[in-house]
Structure 1
Amino acid sequence: MSDSEDDRPLIKAKSDSTISKSTDKAMDNDLPTSNGAVKPGISLAMGPVDDMDIDKPTTNGATKRKTSMPNGKSYKDASDSEEDDVPLQKRRKTKPASDSEDDDVPLVKKQQQPPRATAAQMGEDSEDDDVPLGQKLQQEKAKIEKKAEKEAQVLRKEEKSTQAKKLAKKVDSDDDDDKPLVKKKTPAKKEVNGTTSAKKQIKEESDDDVPLRKKAPAKKAKKGESDDEDDVPLKKKATPKKVKKEDASPAKGKSKVKKSEKTEDDADAEAEEEEYRWWEDPAKGDGTIKWTTLEHNGVVFPPEYEPLPKHVQMMYEGVPVSMHPDAEEIAHAFGSMLNSAHNVENPTFQKNFFNDFKDMLDKTGHAKDKDGNKVKIVKFDKCDFKPIFNYTDAEREKKKALSAAEKKQIKAEKDEKEAPFMHCMWDGRKQKVGNFRVEPPGLFRGRGEHPKTGKFKKRVLPEQITINIGKEATVPKPPEGHKWKEVKHDQEGTWLAMWQENINNAYKYVMLAANSDIKGQSDYKKFEKARELKKHIDRIRKDYKKELKSETMAERQRATAVYLIDQFALRAGNEKGEDEADTVGCCSLKMEHVTLRPPDTVIFDFLGKDSIRFYDEVQVDPQVFKNLKLFKRAPKVDGDEIFDRLTTSGLNKHLSNYMTGLTAKVFRTYNASWTMSNLLKEMKNDAGKPIIEKVKDYNDANRKVAILCNHKRTVAATHATQMEKMEDKINGLRYQQYRIRQMMLGLEPKLKKKKGEEFFALPDGLDNDWVKEHQAALVEEQRQKIKKKFEKDNEKRVAEGEKEMKAKELEERMSVADELEAKFKEERKTKKIEPEGKGPTVEKYEENIKKLDQRIATLNTQSEDRENNKEVALGTSKINYIDPRLTVVFSKKFDVPIERFFSKTLREKFDWAIKSVDEDWEF
C-alpha cells in the first residue's frame, strides 16, 4: 500500500448539511443564462450501452443462452424464446476507465466516442432545418411534459368530481335505503382517456371506483335489441368471469338445440377449456393468498456427468493426465468452451476457474500420469485443454450432422420425458411452468465484468431443493436414494421449487411461464401503476424543480436524483456487498463515475445492472449541472459518493408520499408509455398505405421513445454484414429488371429509340465483374436448393420404408444448375439476353418490372429502418416499458397484424393486452 493510501482518512468526505447563500451564489457565475424554466434532459450519445437500464424478463435463475454442459450436451431453457426476445448483440468487454484528476476531462480518453443521435433517427429532415438536433429533442421532450402536466390536472379534477358524486350518492342511499336503486344516465362527457362512447362515460362516472363484484347488474336486453357490451357488467357474481373461446349462443331466429340433438362439434366446443379473463377482475390477486390448490410434478435434473473416453485427456507440461471424475468435470467445462475467447482469455475467468479446479484436485487426490504417478497441477499456463476441446467439438459436429428425422426423434423423446413437468394445476387451472429444469453444473459466466466469472457452478442435489405445493396434493418423488430439503405449503408464494446456488448464494426459483395468469397479472399491475403516475407526475416534477435550489443539501440531492431518474431512466441503485460486483445506480454514483463538461454536459461512465457498462453523454438543466458540481466539491475524492445524503430506500419512501407503491423504476415505464401514447395520437390513418410503411411508422415512434427515454444499445457486430446482404438483395432485383429490359429489346428492338439507351443500361453501381460474381452466386444457390431437396426427399423415402435414391439421381437434378451456368456464360459472351417465359410480351415484362419496383421499395424501407435502429434498443422499449396495449391499439387502428410486432412468445406473454383493449383505448 502506498503512503498516499495510508494517509487517506478512513471516514469518507461528506457534503455539508446545508448550502450557504454565498456558496450557492458563487457557483452561479459559470452557469449559462436561463429563463428560469427547468429544461428537460436529453442524451447526446447513442451508445455504447446495452441493456444496462432495462428490466430483464425473469429467467428463474437460468440464463437466456443455451447452457453448454461439461459432457458437451445442450441443456436448453424451458421456454423457446424467439429472436425478438433475446438481446440483439453480445456484451462488449470494456477496459476500466483511467483515473482523472480533472472534472472536465472525460473518464475514458481512449474510448471511441459513441455516435450521436441523428435527425433521421428522430424522423426529422436535417437538410432544410438549421435547428440543432439537441435543441429539437429538448423541444420535443418539453412538449410531451407539458401535455403530461395538463393531463394530470384533468385527471385529478375528474377524480375529485367522481369522489364528490360517490359521497352524494352515499348520502342519498342512507336517506332512502328502502328505495330501489335506479341508475340514472348522466349527459355524456369526454372521458379522461379521450374515448367518446357515451355509455362508457356514464359507466366511468357512475361506478368506476365501485368493486366489480358489487356493481348493480345491467338490465336484460329486450327481444330483438342488440346487446351492448358497455352496458353489461363484467361481473354478476363473486366468482371470476369465464368465457368460452367460441360463442355458443344460438343465432337469432333459431331454436336452441336440444341436449339429445347436440352435434359432435357442439360437444367439442363444450369440452374446450374455458378462458379465464383475469384482467376483467382486477381485485383478483390483490390479497396475500395467491393460490388455494397447487399440484405439480417437481423439477427435472440434468443428466449425470459422463467421464471422457480414456484416450481423451488434459495435458500438463505436455504429459496426458487422468483425474477423478469430479475434477475432470471442471476441466471438461473449461476445455469445451475454448472457442469462447471472450471468456477463456479473460484473466478473471481463468483465475476463478483454476482456483476451483485446484481445490477439487486437492480433495480428490490430484492428477495421475499413465504410470499412476501423482501429478500436482499448480500452474494454469502449463495446462493444455485442447484434446478436450477437440473431442467435444467433434461431438457437437456429429450432433449437427444428424438428419432432420433423427433430430426430430431425439426432441420427441426428450419432450415425452419432460411432458409431466411442463404444466401444473393452479387453483384447478392448467398453467405452463416457466423453467422446470434444474441448472446444470458448469462455469459461471455472469454479465459484463462480473468478479466471479469462471467459478464452477456445483451440481444441485435434491437435498438442496425446497418444494412448494398444496397440502392435499401428492408430493413429487425425488430421485432414487435422495430426499427433498423441505416441503412447504406457502400460499403467499408464486414459486413451485427453490434452491440456493453456490456462486452468489442467490436463491433460484421455479416459477410459472410468462404467459400464465400470475405473470400476466404482474405485467398488468406494472403498467397500471405507470398509468396511475399520470395523475401525479406534474406535482412531482414541480416539487423536484423547486427543490433543485433548496438550501438543505439532502433535499437538493434528492431533487437532483429524481431529475436524473425521470429524465435519463437511471436506476436508483442499491448498496452492494464486498463480494458483489461494483455496480451502481443513481443514488450510489461515486466521484469517478461522473464527469462535468461545461456549460451543461454530464458524462456518466459506470457499471450498471448485471455489470454492463453504462456510458452516456447527456445535456442537463444548468441548475442540475451546478448541483452536481457542488456535490463533487473537495474534500471529496474518487471513491466518495456524490449523493452522500441520499439512499435508495429514502428516495422511494419520499416518492410513495405522492402515490402508493411509487418507486424510481415506475418512471421508466411511465415515460416510455406516455411518450408512445402521444406519438400514436399524432399518427393519421392512411388506409392506402402499405403494411411495411405502417410498420416503419410504428418503429419510428418506438425509436423516438427509445431515444427520448435513453434506451440505447451498441451497434451489433453483424450489422454491417446484414446491411451488405440487404444491399445485395436490392442490387439482385435491379439486375433482374435489367435482364427483363434486355428481353423486351429482344422482342421489340425499336424500343431502344422509344425509351432511350439509359432505360436499357446496366444500373448504376453494377459492372461486368459484379454481374459475373452475382451469376455465379445464383448458380451456387440453385445447386444448394437441389441438394437440400434431394436430401429431404431421401429422408422421406427412408421414413416411409422405401429405398434411398442413388447419387446418379442427384447428378441428373443438378443438370438444371448446369444449364443455368451455361446460359449465363453465353449471355456474357454474346451480350444478348433471350426472352424467357410462356408467351412473352412487352406488356408482361413491364408488369414484372413494376412488381420488382415494389419489392425494391419495400427493401429500401426495411434497409432505412434497420440503419436507423442500429443504435436504439427498440426491443427494450417495446417489451419492457411501452404498455403492450398501445402496440395492440396501433395494430387494430391501422389494421396491421399483431404478428408484425410481437413474436409468438410475446403474443403469449401479452395475451391479456391483445384481448383486453380495442382501438379506442388510451394509456
Structure 2
Amino acid sequence: MSPVDFDSDDDKPLRAPNGGSNGHHHPNGNGHVPTQQRALSSMSDDEMPLATQDSSPLPATRTLKRKKPVYAESSSDDSEDDTPLAATPAKVAVAMPGAIQATTVPANGKGKAKSNVSKAAVSDDEYADSDAPKRKRAAKPKAKPPKKKVKQESSDDDDDKPLAAKKPSTSRKRKVKVESDVESDDEPIAKKAAAKKPRKVKSEETEKPPAKVKAEANGSATVKAEANGSPVKGKGKKKEKEKKEDEEQEEVFRWWDADAGDGSVKWQTLEHNGVIFPPPYESLPPNVKMKYNGKELDLPPASEEVAGFYAALIESDHAKDAKFNENFFNDWKTVLKKYPPLDNTKVTNFDLCDFRPMFEYFEAEKAKKKALSAAEKKELKKIKDDMEAKYTTCLLDGRKEKVGNFRVEPPGLFRGRGEHPKKGALKFRVRPEDISLNIGDNAPVPVPNIPGKWKEVIHDNTVTWLATWTENVNGNHKYVFLAAGSSLKGQSDMIKFEKARELKNHVDKIRQNYTQDLKSKVMADRQRATTMYFIDKLALRAGNEKGEDEADTVGCCSLRCEHVTLEAPNFIIFDFLGKDSIRYYNRVPVDAQVFKNIRIFKENKSDNDSLFDRVNTTGLNKHLQSEMKGLTAKVFRTFNASSTFQRLLDENTLENATLQEKLNAYNKANREVAILCNHRRTVPKTHEQSMEKVRDKQRGLKYDRMKLRHVLFKMDKKFRKKAEYQEDESDIDDEWIVSHEEDKMAKEIEKAEKKFAKENEKLTDDGKEAQDDSELKDRIANIKAEFKRLAKERGTGEAELTREKPAEKIEEAIQKLTEKIKASKLQIIDRDEGKEVALGTSKINYLDPRITAAWCKIHDVPVEKLFSKTLIVKFPWAMEVEEDWKF
C-alpha cells in the first residue's frame, strides 16, 4: 500500500507484470526491453508499492484537445476517498440510461437525519483529512478527552455471530483480531451464511472468566464441564486455538463514544518510528548485461538500475506505448550523462537497445523465489515482519494504533492512467532528506533505517499525517497516515457521512434555489445553477482545470463544448474522460431550461472552449457553503450515492428469499450506484477463467445429485415417476463425466498422499516407527477401485453408495444439492453482471456503511458476506447501528 496522495493516485511506480509481448524490437530481431532493479526483483509483494492493474488507453471517439488552463484550484474530489483499494484499469465506454430517475430522492424520506456527531466536531475544514503540512505549532488543550475502551470477544465461530450487537455502555471493553495488512474490496471473509447471535458483553469490574461466561450463556453440561476444568472430548484443540487468538487480540478505543473535541486538535501525544526505506540497489551479476547495437553494454549501478525498471516491462503493454518509451528514454539518457557506460559507448538510439538479457534474469529470479518451499517462504516472511514490526504501529495519546503505510516507495517508472503525458518518466529514490516528520513535542525523533537526516521534524497536532514528501514526476504530496481502522480515520469517515446525511434536510431548498437561477439574467449564476443541476442529478464530480503536463480528464466545471452534444428535443449526450481516465458516456433527458442553457453556453464557441467559462470549483464550493455549512460538490455526490442506495434496498421485498437471493439484491443496488458514480472497470482478463471454474463447480453439484437420483432409482423404480427426480443434468455429458471422475480420483490420491506423509511425520516426532509405503499403496489401490466402480455405472442410470442410507436421507441430500445448484446459478448471474463494475469504490467512499449494517440485521445476512475484513475494521462505529436506522 503506497502512501496517500491527495492530488492524484496515478503515480504509483510500475511493477513487473507477467505476460504480454514486447512492443519494441531490435532491428536484428532481438526484443527491446528494459530491466528491473535487483532490489525490486528480490522483494516480496508486500515490499512493493501498491500497483494498479494494466489500463489500456480508451479508443477515443474524438480527439480531446488540451486548452490552456484558466483556473488552478484543486478539486475536492481528488482526495484519497476516491481511490479504490484495488485499483482497476477502467477504460470502457459505458452507457447509463435513466440516471436522473435513479438519483432523484425525496428529501422528506423515511428516517429524519439525526447526527451522532457533536456540532463542534464538524468544522468547515473537517470533510477530509488535513492534506497540507502546517508549520505553526498548535496550542495544547488543557484537558484530554475521556478514553473509553471495550473488548470485543472473538471465537472460532465469529463468522456466525454479529460483529456488533446493541450499542454497549462506554465502560465496556471488547477485543478484536489484529487487522490484516491485505486489503480486499469485495472478497467476503466468512463463508457461513447463518445469522449471528448477539454478543454478550460484561462490564470491566464484573467480567467473569471466558469459560464461565460461555458456560452460563450456553447452559450446557459440556460447556460447564469445561469451565470447571473437566476435560471434554474434542474440545482441547479448539480451546487452545481460542486462547492463542485471545493473546493476539488488542483493546480498541471506542472513539465514537468519546467526546469528539473541538474538531481542530487531532491528538495530544504522538510517537512513531518514522518510515522504512527500500534497500539500496544491488548490481546484477557480471554475466547479465543489456546490449546496445548487438554489443554488451557495461553500465554503472545507477544507470543499470534505471535500465532494469524498463527491462522488467518489455513483455507488457507499456513497452508498446510510444509515449511511455519516449519519456523513459529521455530520462535514462539524462542518467547516462551523469553515469555513462564504463566503455564510453554513446547510447543515442532507443531502437538499438536490447534489454532482454536483463528481463530473462529477472524472470529466472522470480521462478527461483516461486520454487522455494513453504518453510523457506515462511522464514523469509518472518525475517521481513520482524524487521518491519516497529514501524507498523504508533502511540497516539498513549494508545497503540496501526499505521496505514510505513514503506517508502522504491524508485521506478511512472505509469499514470490513460493517456497521461508523463507516463514512463523516472521516479527518483526518496531519501530521508526529502521527508518531513510530524511527531509529539516530547517524543523521541526516530532514526532512519538508511544513512541521512530528516528534512524537518514538526509537532503539529492539528493534522493527522505522520510523514510527508513530494514526488518528482507530478509534484504531488505523498502522506503517511494511520490505518483505515484507526480512530482518526474513523472520525473523518463518520463526519463525512453525517455531513452528507445532513444535506437531506437542506436539499429541497437548494434545488429550489438553483432551479430559479437556471433562468437568471446573470450568466455566471445561470452557469453555476446548471453545473449544480448536473452534479445533483448525475452525481458528476466537480472537476478542475489541468495543466499541459497532466492527463486530459475533466469534471463538470471543466467540461468543454466538445464533451456535450445536444439532441432534440431534450437529450444531452456526455462523452468525456473522468477521473483516472475512465470514459463517461451518458445520454440523458434534461429539463427544457437546462437544454436551452447548454445551447446558449455553446453559442459562438469552438469545440475546445470551456462550456462553463464563468464557473470554477472554488466559486462553486463557496456558493454551496452559503447554502449549507460544510457543503461541497463531493458531499452532494456522497449524498446521492447513499440515498439512492437506501432507496433501492428498501424497494426490494425479500420475504422468504434465500441468502443468495438477498446477496444478489444487495449487489444489484450496489451496481446501480457504482454506474451512477461511473465506477467502472475493464472486464478482468481472468474473468472467463473464473466463470468457468464456477460453472464447473456447479456441474460437480449436478453430478452428485445425478448419482443420488440413480441410487434412488436402483432402490425402487417408483422414484423415477416423481417429478422432482425426472430432471436430467443436460449440461453433463459423458465426456465431462469421464474428465470429472479422473480429476476427482487424482485429487483423492493427492489427498491420501499428504495425509500419509503427515501421519508419518507425527509418528516420527513421537519417536515411533513410520508406516511402510505399502500402506499408502493399499490406500491408493482402494481409491482406484472405487473410481473403477463408478466408471462401470456410467450410462446405466443406476448407482450405489459406499455406505447404505435410507431413502429419506438420500431425498434430503438431493433437496440440499438442488438448493445449492440454485444458489450457484444466482451467483453466476451476479458475477457476470458485475464484471464491468467496480463495487468496492462506492462501498469504501460513497455508501454510508450504516445502511449495510442495518440491512444485514433486518434480513439476517452476515455482514461478512458483503464487507471484507478490512471494511469491518474500517467502520466499527457503523456495525452497532440499530436495524431500523435509515440514511
TM-score, length of structure 2 as denominator length: 0.75
Unaligned runs of 5+ in 2: 18-35, 66-89, 120-143, 147-165, 175-200, 209-227, 230-241
Q: Does 1:346 align with 2:321?
A: yes
Contact 2:484 2:490 in 1 (8 A): yes
Checking the alignment, whether the CA contact within 8 Å between 1:747 and 1:841 is kept in structure 2 is no
Structure 1 residues 80 and 397, CA gap change in structure 2 (3 angstroms): same
Q: Name which of 496, 515, 519 aligns with 1:549.
A: 519
Question: Which residue in 2 is equivalent to 1:896?
Answer: 861
Structure 1 residues 273 and 362, CA, compared in 2 at 3 Å: closer, same or farther? closer
Question: Which letter maps to 1:364?
Answer: Y
One of 333, 343, 355 as aligned partner of 1:358? 333
Residues 779 and 817, structure 1, Cα contact 8 Å, conserved in 2: yes
Instruction: Identify the match of residue 429 of structure 2 among 459, 462, 467.
Output: 459
Q: 1:336 aligns with which of 303, 309, 312?
A: 312
Name the structure 2 match of 1:499.
Answer: 469
Q: Would you say 1:248 and 2:248 are equivalent positions? A: no
* Counterpart selection for 1:442 from 383, 401, 412: 412
2:107 counterpart SS class: helix
Which residues of 2 match residues 68-467 of structure 1 at below 5 A? 70-71=37-38, 72-74=41-43, 76=45, 90-99=54-63, 134=98, 141-142=103-104, 145=105, 147-148=106-107, 243-245=172-174, 247-248=202-203, 275-281=252-258, 283-284=260-261, 286-287=263-264, 289-339=265-315, 341-365=316-340, 367-368=341-342, 373-467=343-437
Q: Does 1:694 align with 2:658?
A: no
- 8 Å CA contact 1:569, 1:667 repeated in 2: yes
> Is it true that 1:910 corresponds to 2:865 in the alignment?
no
Distance 1:58 1:650, change over 3 A: closer
Alignment partner of 1:247: what SS? coil
Shift of the 112–486 alpha-carbon distance from structure 1 to 2, 3 Å rule, reads closer
Q: Which amino acid is the alignment partner of residue 316 of structure 1?
A: Y
Structure 1 residue 678 and structure 2 residue 643: aligned? no
* Partner residue in 1 for 2:620: 651
Q: CA RMSD in A?
A: 4.2
Give deviations 1:303-326, integer Å, cap 9, x for gaps: 111111111111112222210000
1:60–1:508 CA contact under 8 A, matched in 2: no
Deviations 1:610-645 (A, max 9, x none): 3333333333333323322222222x1132101011
- When structure 1 is superposed on structure 2, of 768-777 and 351-360 the one drifting more is 768-777
What CA distance in whole angstroms lies between the structure 2 residues aligned with 1:788 and 1:523? 47
Q: Which runs of 5+ in 1 are unaligned?
A: 1-54, 102-110, 118-132, 164-211, 215-230, 235-240, 254-262
Partner of 2:489: 519
**Maintained 8 Å contact 1:671/1:709:** no
- Higher deviation after alignment, 771-780 or 549-558: 771-780
Query: Which one has the largest radius of gyration?
Result: 1
Task: Assess, with a 3 A threshold, how the Cα gap between structure 1 residues 587 and 790 changes in structure 2: closer, same or farther.
Answer: farther
Distance 1:445 1:335 in 2: 15
CA contact 1:568–1:710 (8 Å) conserved in 2: no
SS at match of 1:248: coil
Distance 1:594 1:908, change over 3 A: same
Query: Offset at 1:708?
Result: 4.9
- The one of 852, 863, 868 equivalent to 2:817 is 852
C-alpha contact 2:10 2:580 (8 A) present in aligned 1? no
When residues 75 and 549 of structure 1 are mapped into structure 2, their CA distance, relative to the original with a 3 A threshold, is farther
SS at match of 2:603: coil
The match for 1:626 is: 596
Residue 920 in 1 paired to residue 884 in 2?
Answer: yes
| Superposed CA offset, 1:250-275 (max 9, x none) | 6799xxxxxxxxx999xx99999764
- 1:685-764 aligned within 5 A: 686=655, 689-708=657-676, 710-749=678-717, 751-752=719-720, 754-755=721-722, 759=725, 762-764=728-730
Q: 1:879 aligns with which of 819, 844, 858?
A: 844
How much does 1:408 deviate? 1.3
Partner Cα distance (1:775, 1:764) in 2: 17
Name the SS of the counterpart of 1:74 in structure 2: coil
Verify the 8 A CA contact 1:421 1:433 in the aligned structure 2.
Answer: yes
1:481-523 C-alpha deviation (Å, 9 max, x unpaired)? 4222212112222111122211112221111111111111111
Match of 1:16 in 2: none
Q: In structure 2, what residue type is equivalent to 1:521?
A: Q
- Tell me how far apart the structure 1 counterparts of residues 430 and 775 of structure 2 sit (CA, whole Å): 53
Structure 2 CA distance for aligned equivalents of residues 897 and 744 of structure 1: 36
Q: State the alpha-carbon separation in 1 of the partners of residues 714 and 5 from structure 2.
A: 60
Query: Which amino acid in 2 is paired with 1:509?
Result: Y
Q: Work out which of the residue numbers 707, 729, 739 in structure 2 matches 1:773.
A: 739
Q: Distance in 1 between matches of 2:13 and 2:202?
A: 39
Aligned amino acid, residue 462 of structure 1: P
TM-score scaled by structure 1?
0.72
The 1:232/1:515 distance shift into structure 2, 3 A limit, reads closer
CA distance in 2, matches of 1:113, 1:330: 32
Residues in 2 aligned to 1:870 and 1:659: alpha-carbon distance in whole angstroms = 38
Residue 868 of structure 1 is aligned with which of 828, 833, 836?
Answer: 833
Amino acid at match of 1:778: K
Checking the alignment, whether the CA contact within 8 Å between 1:436 and 1:510 is kept in structure 2 is yes
> In the alignment, which residue of structure 2 is the partner of 1:482?
452
Which 10-residue stretch deviates more, 272-281 or 801-810? Answer: 801-810
- 1:597 and 2:567 are equivalent in the alignment: yes
- Percent of aligned pairs with the same amino acid: 47
Return the alpha-carbon distance in structure 2 between the equivalents of residues 233 and 723 of structure 1: 43
Summarize the Cα distance change of 1:155–1:388 in structure 2 as closer, same or farther, 3 Å threshold. Answer: closer
1:375 partner SS: coil
CA contact (8 A) 1:600 1:621 kept: yes
- Counting matched residue pairs gives 738
Provide, for residues 207-242 of structure 1, a one-character-per-residue CA deviation record: whole Å limited to 9, x for no partner. xxxxx999xxxxxxxxxxxxxxxx9998xxxxxx66
Distance in 2 of aligned mates of 1:59 and 1:558: 26
Residues 545, 282 of structure 1: CA spacing in aligned structure 2 closer, same or farther, 3 A cutoff? Answer: farther
Q: CA deviation at 1:760?
A: 5.7
